[in-house]
Amino acid sequence: MRVAITARSVALEVLNKVYLDDAYANLVMPTLLTQARLPERDSAFAQELAFSTIRWQLTYDLIIDQVSSRPVGEIEVGLLNGIRLGVHQLLQMRVPAHAAINETVNLIRASFGEKVVGFANGVLRRISEKTISEWIDLLEVKQATPTAKLAVRYSHPEWIVRALQQSLKSDGIEDSIEALLAVNNIPALVTLVALPGQSDREDFLLDGAERTPFSPYGFTIASGDPSAFDEIRLGEVRVQDEGSQIAALALALGRDIKSDEQWLDMCAGPGGKAAMLAAMARGSSVRFTANEIQPHRLELVSKALRPFPEVLLTGVDGRTIGDSHPNTFDRILLDAPCTGLGALRRRPEARWRKSAEDLKSLCELQYGLLESAYKALKPGGLLLYVTCSPHLSETTAVVSKAAKNMNLEVLDLSSMLNSEYFEGSLPNNRKTVQLYTQRDGTDCMFMALITK
């Protein structure tokens, strides 16, 4: 039977691509919506349904396990995805229970045949007998530790809950763990950046956009398709979280930019920060190199930098640049590969893609890249180490190890950012900067500004 294209069928296709093909929801959703040509309201419904269902996977699977005649692990993935969509409509969307069940069952019938309809219908009807709060209360009773209870209540793997708790504790704000977990499940506003010297954000404020509180180039829109802006198509405006904007801007702090400087973005993919750096470099006649080792990400960088043909693109292993280009660059951005725990609200599948076991290899890579970047830095130059993660192993631990083993100096970036952008709102008891979503409204970006 051919499945009619609806908001729910698009959401199911997104889930199937994420769970069966390891796709990224934020990359496949726009393509599927373009193909479906749904009305704007249905497109928004599809996106909310798919993204939030992925975020709540852990909790929903535990609920399904309570009522299913088969363990979740034995349910065919496509069918399970259809049921998950129904659970989200029943428990966390303003969809009447009868409509959520009937529409989901019809989608499952069209997608997987009549033989599984009775099973799916029974599971959904039993789940509809309780509210989300009642289900979570029931599940929490069965958890042995407070961390496990938080994992169920907010649908985060336990290792991530522990990591976030440790990071918050290091800043003395461990009491905000539930606020951070909760905000990770709330879709972020669309944040854009008017590239310096290329566009003016004030032009967008007349149309209802709002200034970001910290970045002087950022603005948010409550709804709508940002690709509708002509400036987006021209590359003058980009979609970019305010934390990422601050990270790019931080490299320009510390000292004035000179026209003969050489800059390097060592791990530039997918190109958002590189575009902002390219705009600043053009305005200062700086020679800028953007490097990315992974071919598919290098292609994204190339597209992001299309308005900046003067930028040199390279595709080498960043760990070799220090040996091939020693003492070469005045400013280096090292946005290191990481777990991505700081952007869980934007990347719904990210919390399920990484494990605590991934940390060892990631931290070894991060340190190797930092070591190479330091070799490539001119004496007196500036190196910004960045991760989109608050995990202590990927942040302060890497920087502390580097400070112990290399003749580097960690500058007081907190004071610089407080003076330039944050009006004193960042804690002043540390030199490195850790942004938090629940406190700052940005992704949880970590930044350390280093000099040789």
Report phi then psi at 393, rounded to 5: -65, -30
User: How many Å is the Cα radius of gyration of the chain?
Assistant: 23
User: Three-state DSSP class for 305?
Assistant: coil
C-alpha–C-alpha distance, residues 189 and 12, integer Å: 23
Report phi then psi at 232, rounded to 5: -65, -45
Nearest to 339 by CA among 366, 367, 299: 366
73 C-beta neighbours (distance < 10 Å), count: 8
Q: What is the DSSP letter of 8?
A: H
Element (H, E) at 449: strand 446-451
Prior bond to 39 cis, omega within 30? Answer: no
- Cross-strand bridge partners of residue 387: 446
C-alpha–C-alpha distance, residues 59 and 42, integer Å: 25
228 C-beta neighbours (distance < 10 Å), count: 9
Q: Say if residues 392 and 166 touch (Cβ distance below 8 Å).
A: yes
- Would you call 149 exposed, middle or buried from its count of C-beta atoms within 10 A (0-12, 13-18, 19+)? middle
Q: Catalytic site residues?
A: 388
Nearest to 255 by CA among 451, 16, 43: 451
Q: What is the DSSP letter of 290?
A: E
C-alpha–C-alpha distance, residues 366 and 334, integer Å: 9
C-alpha–C-alpha distance, residues 338 and 246, integer Å: 18
Helix, strand, coil percent values for the chain (each to nearest 5): 55, 10, 35
Question: Number of helices (H) and strands (E), helices first, in the chain?
Answer: 22, 12
Residues ≥6 apart with Cβ < 8 Å to 87? 53, 60, 63, 64, 124, 127
- Would you call 184 exposed, middle or buried from its count of C-beta atoms within 10 A (0-12, 13-18, 19+)? buried
C-alpha–C-alpha distance, residues 179 and 137, integer Å: 18
